[in-house]
Structure 1
Amino acid sequence: MKKMIRYIIFVLLATTIACNKDALNKGPLNLYSDNTIWKDSALISRVVLQAYSSIHSIYDDAGNWMPCDITDEAKDRRSYHAANLINTGQYTSSTGIYNNIWQNTYVNVRGCNTVLSHLDEMPLSDAGKQQIKGEMLFLRALHYLDLYYIFGRFPIVDKVLSLDDELAIARGSDEDCITFMQKDLDDATALLPETYPAASLGRATKYAAIGMKCRLLLNHKDYNGAAAAAKTIIDRDLYHLFPDYEAMFYPENDDNVEVIFNKEFAGDQSGQIHNLDVYDNSRFFTGFGSVIECPTQNLVDQYLLTDGKPWDHSTLYDPAHPYINRDPRFQASIMYDGCTWMNISMDMKLGSAINPSTSSNTPTGYMLRKFLNPNYIFYGNNSNYQNCIMLRLAEIYLNYAECQLKLGNAEEARTYINLLRKRVQMPEVPAGQMDWDTYVRERTVELAFEGQRWNDIRRWGTGATMIGAQITAINIAVNNGARTYTRVSLEQRYFDPKIYYFPIPQTELQKYPAGKVLEQNPGWQ
């Protein structure tokens, strides 16, 4: 464990302290002593801004695999890759797929704890210190939330550890972990501002903390607590549904009125870029073996027809033209045969220029559209690196609706589901017809690919059908000049209840000395 602490200190200096040289008119922070940094307000500002770069978002996973690939939303086309080890039940504690999450969490938590430990000596006003404290508590909670949603209980570290401290810390109880994260979020809420000036967009606000608390409590099935948090945001009326569902994710609409919190790319906070546009567009555009996240027919079938009915109950459904008359969120989220992208008609038939008969094709007949930038430049210097929305008002509406359903208030839930439907001009749920299946479908299509489905499935206990699903695809054929579309089975996914929480990486277990065992998750011993 002493080696691990030295490793953490080294990485902290390399990641939290190293920083964009042009952010302020100062040299690299690693040229300054630790004592100097905490006495210089400009350097402190740089450290705080750089702390945001450590946030883990789904866009950071692009090019590797994204959470949608291990649910019924999508398939990673690469049969040999990490997501498919999970989907086929070949994942173990030694596989190492999530090693970086465990390691990086504690590096990042140490960064937050380091800033908190130096608050008293900072040459800042009390208000400035309190805001920084709020930001670090929020970020610490966010890092732990990331860890918790993957592994469950975790060792709680709330200070900068030295070599004299007990380093082999046991995992906290579930209640202790939840209480710790909730307290950090509550304390952050009391300290953070409601808004920031335009130059500081992307930093944590009071409502970002309340929203993350809402998500935490919902996943813990505290419906009263989650509902109260959601209603606080709703009643403040500071956020509004962005009128264009598809364009909400375009770079020109970064930090729009629906966004409660996002990870900023290519800005002062991180200076980072992501590879989503490169890895999830067709090879026709990128010139190399791209297309990783391939939406499933399972997900496509969740999008209602414009009469508000599912495909197999609607007179609007035409088997020869299965993609017309669909909920507009379908066209905004998924590339399908015959759609237009970057002024090109997307021919999804296997063997076409868009979907070649090589390893760079989509096995499902669909490609990802949500999040992608229609004006992305694939060659040359392109500065369009859109932000990753991590929390938006639509999720708060859905969280509130779920709580109300669980509390027996279906009509209150219906109000907020209908607000989402109204945005995309879909028929409202009629009075008296708001039920659980309607809610699940609405959450599925509204938040498709946004990274919350694994938490949803675990909370709902539907892993057998939504993780261990029979994954279907669309087969496109041409007969006498006419196209036919046939649903086909692609693969049967693996599910065991133990995978609701993934195994603690073997490399982490081995860092604990004899007699100080880090407890493994049930079923993974």
Structure 2
Amino acid sequence: MMKKNFLYFTVMAIAVSLGSCKKELDTNPQERITLDNYYKTQADAFTGLVAIYDRFAFQSGGLYDKSAIMDVASDDQLAGGGSSGDINDLQVMQNYTLNASTGPHGYLWNRGYSGIFRANVLLSKIDAIPMDAALKARYIAETKAMRAAFYFDLVTFFKNVPLIEGVVEIGDIYNITQAPPASIYAYVEKDLNDAIPNLPNTVPAATEGGRLTKGAAQALLGKVLLYEKKWQAAADQFAVVNGTAPGVSPSVYGYKLYPVFGDLWKPANKFNSESIIEFVHSSKSNGNWSAAGNSEGNLLSITTGPRGYSKVLSTAPDYFSGYSFLVFTKDFFDFIHKDPRNAATVANLDSLQTNGIAKYTPGYNNTGYFFAKYMGLTTQAAATIPELNFGIDEYEIRLADTYLMEAEALMNAGAAVGAGSRAYILLNAVRARVGLNPVAVTQDNIEKERRLELAGEGQRFPDLVRWGKAAATLKFKGFIAGRHEVFPIPQNELNNTKLEQNKEWGGTK
């Protein structure tokens, strides 16, 4: 994600082109910016690209993002907050009381299709823009890779979604219909395969950190193929990303497990050797409460912090007082408690308070076990409106994730999994990084490792769904088999359109 300051004119172009039909009698046409007269220069193309990145890492003005939704949907975390109605979209996700009109799925739909709209606009205009051919090819590749990511999320979450390949005229918007999921997956694969050759192997972190690379697109393609159960094809993509000697030497793209697990979430370690797709946040964007979702700060840093936190002893952790969302369950705490990743993952506020080290005010769903990875510290806080301007980045995909996905793909493809096999090396490289002994490559061990390693990173719920284990695991939260594996199509998208509700939600699709 790049600075939203670049987005103003692109957003204005979209707004003007989709504006009212009244005659602009009082407007100087030389001052108007439209889609037809905007995309003329290389600078315009770059601004359009930034606009797509903006949707890629978009956070809701309701103070949550995709990762937060997936976290509260899982068995490991609860919504928390100040009350049962605090950030209601997360509360209804936690309890599985969402419906077509209420819940966070509207954000997911809008994030995806606004990103696809921006991608389609740029792709429709960029061929006519005079600019360096190699740079143009890169912009197109980045755009297609992000469009693929948007579609992958949409088909994963909603199953039956429209396939919009170009810029849709206003009069045709209400006539769009849904495509078969297989068509969406095929389109995602094609976009990623088109993109990979024209993306750079690496980017300079200081000036282009967060932009997509070959490895990022290949990792995403591997994940898409994994979700399609195309096991060997997925493993082949991951093999390039993960390298010939996982856990020992860097891959061709320079990826290597970061040596200290807990340091992955320090702002000083942005764009480290483990980061593959990273959503960039800044402490300098001056985000404010007039449009909290437009802040470049990481909103998880404030929402996950403990309410009313204060130190009793000077040795107490330096947590910034927050809103107590996404607390871990007692079951998860018991699961991770003796694992070396516990301290970097869980902040045990009850222990701190019981031992007279610090104080906090228990919130709703309080368990005392807080999500530590993205939690803000006072030493990281920005000078102005600190709660909205924490600069801790989020990982969309990191190397430990791709190691575990490749091991899973190899196992399901029928490859060797015994000691010394590639699947065995991949799984146990993740464990060795935190000082754990090797284990056998089994479905159960892969599931356990993903739960421990990726806790709070938005992976648990999609994992449970694709493994067919969501209904049994999430029954205690109200999950209904045959319904909650997908989200309902938002009601606003159904009104006066040809879209059909998913059959899981009473529709016909």
Scaled by the length of structure 2, what TM-score is found? 0.80
Map 1:375-394; keep pairs closer than 5 Å: 375-377=378-380, 380-381=383-384, 382=386, 384-394=390-400
Aligned partner (choices 482, 490, 496) of residue 511 of structure 1: 496
Gaps of 5+ in 1: 1-8, 18-29, 304-322, 340-345, 470-491
- Could you tell me how far apart the structure 1 residues matched to 2:141 and 2:241 are? 18
Match of 2:484 in 1: 499
Aligned in 2, Cα 1:243/1:273: closer, same or farther, shift over 3 Å?
A: same
Q: Is the 8 A contact 2:101 2:492 kept in 1?
A: yes
Aligned in 2, Cα 1:102/1:302: closer, same or farther, shift over 3 Å?
A: same
Map 1:451-462; keep pairs closer than 5 Å: 451-462=458-469
- Offset, 1:463: 1.2
- Could you tell me how far apart the structure 1 residues matched to 2:323 and 2:71 are? 17
Q: Is the 8 A contact 1:185 1:210 kept in 2?
A: yes
Q: Is the 8 A contact 1:501 1:521 kept in 2?
A: no
Match of 2:272 in 1: 256
Aligned partner (choices 412, 416, 433) of residue 423 of structure 1: 433
1:331 to 2:338 alignment: no
1:37 to 2:38 alignment: yes
Match of 1:320 in 2: none
- Offset, 1:193: 1.3
Aligned partner (choices 248, 259, 268) of residue 243 of structure 1: 259
Secondary structure, counterpart of 2:341 in structure 1: helix
Aligned partner (choices 206, 227, 238) of residue 235 of structure 2: 227
Match of 2:26 in 1: none
Q: Is the 8 A contact 2:304 2:326 kept in 1?
A: yes
- Offset, 1:424: 0.6
Q: Is the 8 A contact 2:305 2:321 kept in 1?
A: no
Aligned partner (choices 312, 316, 331) of residue 298 of structure 1: 331
Q: Provide, for residues 14-71 of structure 1, a one-character-per-residue CA deviation record: whole Å limited to 9, x for no partner.
A: 5999xxxxxxxxxxxx975545532222232222223211114679875575321111
- Offset, 1:427: 1.6
- Larger displacement relative to structure 2 (390-399 or 41-50): 41-50
- Offset, 1:392: 0.8
- Offset, 1:268: 11
Match of 2:359 in 1: 354
Secondary structure, counterpart of 1:218 in structure 2: helix
1:206 to 2:214 alignment: yes
Secondary structure, counterpart of 1:76 in structure 2: strand
- Could you tell me how far apart the structure 2 residues matched to 1:170 and 1:11 are? 28
Aligned in 2, Cα 1:161/1:145: closer, same or farther, shift over 3 Å?
A: same
Match of 1:153 in 2: 160
- Could you tell me how far apart the structure 1 residues matched to 2:157 and 2:34 are? 36
Q: Provide, for residues 102-148 of structure 1, a one-character-per-residue CA deviation record: whole Å limited to 9, x for no partner.
A: 23322221111111111221120111111111011011111112222
Aligned in 2, Cα 1:268/1:334: closer, same or farther, shift over 3 Å?
A: closer
Higher helix share: 2
Q: Is the 8 A contact 1:60 1:274 kept in 2?
A: no
- Offset, 1:376: 4.1
1:524 to 2:509 alignment: no
Secondary structure, counterpart of 1:148 in structure 2: helix
Match of 1:343 in 2: none
Aligned partner (choices 369, 372, 381) of residue 369 of structure 1: 372
Q: Is the 8 A contact 2:341 2:452 kept in 1?
A: yes
- Could you tell me how far apart the structure 1 residues matched to 2:186 and 2:284 are? 32
- Offset, 1:271: 7.0
Match of 2:48 in 1: 47
- Offset, 1:338: 6.9
Aligned in 2, Cα 1:155/1:190: closer, same or farther, shift over 3 Å?
A: same
Q: Provide, for residues 490-520 of structure 1, a one-character-per-residue CA deviation record: whole Å limited to 9, x for no partner.
A: xx543323110011111111131xxx35242
- Could you tell me how far apart the structure 2 residues matched to 1:519 and 1:372 are? 37
Aligned in 2, Cα 1:282/1:188: closer, same or farther, shift over 3 Å?
A: same
Match of 1:136 in 2: 143
Q: Is the 8 A contact 1:398 1:417 kept in 2?
A: yes
Aligned in 2, Cα 1:66/1:175: closer, same or farther, shift over 3 Å?
A: closer
Query: Aligned AA for 1:68?
Result: D
1:398 to 2:410 alignment: no
Secondary structure, counterpart of 1:428 in structure 2: coil
- Could you tell me how far apart the structure 1 residues matched to 2:191 and 2:405 are? 21
Match of 1:278 in 2: 302
Aligned partner (choices 63, 66, 74) of residue 71 of structure 1: 74
Q: Is the 8 A contact 1:297 1:364 kept in 2?
A: yes
Aligned in 2, Cα 1:508/1:201: closer, same or farther, shift over 3 Å?
A: same
Secondary structure, counterpart of 1:335 in structure 2: strand
The root-mean-square deviation of aligned C-alpha atoms, in Å, is 3.1
- Offset, 1:89: 3.9
Aligned in 2, Cα 1:232/1:353: closer, same or farther, shift over 3 Å?
A: closer
- Offset, 1:72: 0.7
Identity of matched residues, %: 25
1:111 to 2:118 alignment: yes
- Offset, 1:163: 3.4
- Could you tell me how far apart the structure 1 residues matched to 2:79 and 2:402 are? 29
Match of 2:246 in 1: none
Query: Aligned AA for 2:481?
Result: D
Aligned in 2, Cα 1:178/1:495: closer, same or farther, shift over 3 Å?
A: same
Scaled by the length of structure 1, what TM-score is found? 0.78
Aligned in 2, Cα 1:60/1:517: closer, same or farther, shift over 3 Å?
A: closer
Q: Is the 8 A contact 2:256 2:273 kept in 1?
A: yes
- Could you tell me how far apart the structure 1 residues matched to 2:12 and 2:500 are? 23
